[in-house]
Structure 1
């Protein structure tokens, strides 16, 4: 666990595994989100959008499974950005478990550990901030824009980052 109980807090994958699998209960997850003010024609609109995604099935495997994610049965108003990640192992710096077509570690490229699947639509461990492409690089001779922020693509698109997220789990 790291962070602050009164602010940013990450319980850790071992803890989440023990809670969601080790206690013999079935868990669900709700993600509440808020966008930064929208940038339209180089001007901020001042409005923030709020939404949620709920998954009736949620668990994280143990370290032997590389913390494999199980998430299914979506409902909500911001679109399903995590079902592609179901069954995917967690990728961090130095441990490439991502399922993509490129031979790089997505956690290092996007500066965020996560469950990376081909065409992932979410990255809730991204860097906090609202600026869009901050780095342009070349990967396999293709120009690629690397977005490092907190992303929920099915609602905001990959270019816009979120101001706030809360991932909450509870027994069903």
Structure 2
């Protein structure tokens, strides 16, 4: 509901309250004579009803505004998350290109500069890499695809990261694909 619409409704309610206050009860010969006390109670009750309606309208508007703000925030977060998820494959391909052997060092330097710029842009939007290597395996953050028995190592320790995992703020958008010790 727009502010203009809210102001119009408030103005209408205020006018009705003023009208009720200014109304005079016209008594005819056939009607019983009302006491002053009952004459004052009726308009007062109607005034209270109108005030209650106005307060409820204001509360409804505030609730609507809060819901709209929450929905806007949720939609924005979801949109950022979707775009970042699509760009993770590009980030992975950059990393693979940087790991490939290169006879010409200038090509690799150019790709490295593009990669750094791309990664900084994603980090500005809240992207964080999940540090997995050497950490205890957490199924919420890691996707175990291989396991290996290693002497001298505790069980459920991440030995190798096969694909990096990422999160935006505290929400995991892609778990790390890892090799875990048994």
Higher-Rg structure is: 2
Asked which structure has the greater RCO (Cα within 8 Å, sep 6+), the reply is: 1
Question: Whose helix fraction is larger, Structure 1's or Structure 2's?
Answer: 2
Q: From the two aligned structures, give the one with the greater strand fraction.
A: 1
